[in-house]
Structure 1
Amino acid sequence: MTRKTRSYDPAKVRAALGAQTEALRTAVHRLCDDPGAERLLEAPTRLGDWRVRELLAHLAAQLAWLPGRPAAPEQGLAPLGLTGWVAQVGTQAEQVDAQAREQSVAGFAGAPRELAAAFDEAAGALFGILAGPEVLDEKRRVEIRLGSMTVADLLVTRLVETVVHADDLAAALGWAPFPHDRFALASVCRLLADALADQVPGGAVELRVPPVAVVQAVPGPRHTRGTPPNVVEMDQLTWLRLATGRQEWAEAVEAAQISASGERSDLSGFLPVLR
């Protein structure tokens, strides 16, 4: 059975992206105003050999990507949906890494105050278009390396970038969990759950991420009524980290962050869904 593609309210996405970006901007200023800012900017992250500098450079690039981007030509790249983007974005890791390093040498290599100003500029570019004609035309398409996306979908991918990497930033700095915009976090968790269902289609396991997502995945017998024989349940942040490879399944199970029942309920072989 073909799954119905989930839609995201464009107005709510724009509002959530603005709020999530402002929360990130506040966090960057908190970091850069810290007496130990130089040391903190050199701190390692859970993203290979990226320091906090490279992480912030990447985030700024993602925020500033859409402003001024020309519309896709009529005979451009093939259309790309959101779960397709999740499945394929990891193939661009080398280019993303190179871009972050180039950006960190440019606007993000200086003193903390200069870095904060550079991040403000990127955030300001995004804020400037969120209420403008570029994004209000929801059917307008733009091209990325992987294909042609609607602006509405492209903004959802920016939610993914800002939510996932805000969590990376908090982890690198040893801060409490990041104060994510609720709609932003919920939307990213739903998209990652849908991506699992697309990448591992089936009805043998029901994944529950209350209160935002329930999907069925994994080949095998599909239940039709009552409680499914294989159920996996966890909170939003745990799912976010498992689905993006930030946390190992065994670690989450050991920490009692996952409730799993049924012989098929181990999803470790299907994760991460976004690399």
Structure 2
Amino acid sequence: MPPARKRARSYDPAKTRAAVFAQLAHVRKAVRGLTPEQLALPTRLGDWTVRDLIAHIGMAVTAVHRALDRPAPARQDVTVVQWPFATAASAPAIADFTRNVAADHPDLDAYLADVDSSLGTLLDEHPGSRLLETNAGALPLDDYLVTRTVELVVHTDDLNAAVPDLEVPYDRHALAAATRLLADALAVKAPGGSTEVRVPPYAVVQCVEGPRHTRGTPPNVVETDPLTWVRLATGRVGWADAVAGAKVSASGERADIGGLLPVMA
């Protein structure tokens, strides 16, 4: 008898929308206090400066604006869990767009304030079921907003890594949504039931082909915290370094998932 098909995870649209605004607000507050010297600091994203990174955060949110400017697709043709796999192909265009945004908006605080205000207006005008043409395919607005939590959390972490002692906080619901989507993407990339990946308190997924456990403690277990998982899933930290630094515990012969990471580039 074939295994039961896994039910797709659902996200609370109201919590997702609130999380996007909350995380953007955290970034806006941090940006107001940055000096020109801090804005010129390098980041771990190639040749991007902190200024470029902040411009990109705003640009990632206005991806919603640009999608709503286009005609709605006739039907949905992907699910939200497929989005992480589509980002790498857009990287060169995103880098060029980011530099243009940074050059065109010298006042980053004003830019992010406008992004925040205009997003609120758009979400008041459009239902969550409105289909958008995205880089991954046609998705409902509510699902696409889940992907914006990933962008905001990942790049907030990049910002914190670039500016010493900045410590921009992470909205709990934004971090939860980002963690869950990236964990589900791993399960899609490596389907199976031999390994359990735990990211308490937000996600548990089964992945990797092999014997499936049905009760008791799984023979292969990976466990880490949400931020470490986000960093692993997006290539900000390597598997070997995370294990060596005791940021990940991995037990069992199928618990080494380093070859499956990152799931999003």
Q: TM-score normalised by the shorter chain: which range applies?
A: over 0.9
Q: State the match for 2:227 in structure 1.
A: 237
The TM-score with structure 2 as length reference comes to 0.93
- Structure 2 residue 239 is the aligned partner of structure 1 residue 249: yes
Pair 1:12 & 2:15 matched? yes
CA distance, structure 1, for counterparts of residue 171 and residue 159 of structure 2: 15
Q: Match for residue 27 of structure 1?
A: 30
Counterpart code for 2:21: G
Q: 1:127-142 to 2 correspondence within 5 Å?
A: 127-130=120-123, 132-134=124-126, 137-142=127-132
Equivalent positions of 1:54-65 (< 5 A) are 54-65=52-63
Alpha-carbon offset, residue 7 of structure 1:
0.7
Task: Output one character per residue of 1:44-102: Cα deviation in whole Å (capped at 9) or x when no partner.
Answer: 111111111111111111222323723644547x6221111111112111111111111
Letter in 1 for 2:23: Q
Query: Where in structure 2 are the equivalents of 1:1-275 lying within 5 Å?
Result: 1=3, 2-31=5-34, 37-67=35-65, 69-70=68-69, 72-75=71-74, 79-107=77-105, 110=106, 114-130=107-123, 132-134=124-126, 137-175=127-165, 177-275=167-265
Q: 3-state DSSP class of the match of 1:260?
A: strand
Query: Percent of pairs identical after alignment?
Result: 46
Asked if the contact 2:73–2:133 (Cα under 8 Å) also holds between the matched residues in 1, the reply is no
SS in 1 for 2:218: coil
Residue 263 of structure 1 deviates from its aligned partner by 1.2
**Aligned match of 1:34:** none
Supply the AA of the counterpart residue of 2:207. Answer: A
Indicate the larger mover: 83-92 or 195-204: 83-92
Give me the whole-angstrom Cα distance separating, in 2, the residues matched to 1:259 and 1:145.
Answer: 34
Structure 2 Cα separation of the partners of residues 233 and 150 of structure 1? 32
Cα RMSD of the aligned pairs, angstroms, is 1.6
Contact 1:71–1:140 (CA<8 Å) still a contact in 2? Answer: no
Give the SS at the match of 1:208. Answer: strand
Alignment coverage as a number of residue pairs: 261
Tell me the amino acid that sits aligned with residue 25 of structure 2: E
The answer to whether the 8 Å contact 1:29/1:116 transfers is yes
- Runs of 4 or more above 4 Å deviation: none
SS in 2 for 1:197: helix
- Structure 1 CA distance, aligned partners of 2:195 and 2:244? 20
How far the C-alpha of 1:198 sits from its partner, in A, is: 0.4
Q: CA deviation at 1:25?
A: 0.8
How much does 1:176 deviate? 5.5
TM-score between both structures, scaled by the size of structure 1: 0.90
Unpaired runs of 5+ in structure 1? 32-36
Taking the aligned partners of 1:168 and 1:30, their CA distance within structure 2 comes to: 17
Once residues 270 and 83 of structure 1 are traced to their aligned partners in structure 2, the CA distance between those partners, rounded to angstroms, is: 16
Equivalent residue of 2:214, what SS? coil
Q: Shift of residue 184 of structure 1? A: 0.8
C-alpha change, 1:62 and 1:205, in structure 2 (3 Å) is same
Provide structure 2 residue ranges, at least 5 long, that are not aligned to the other structure. Answer: none
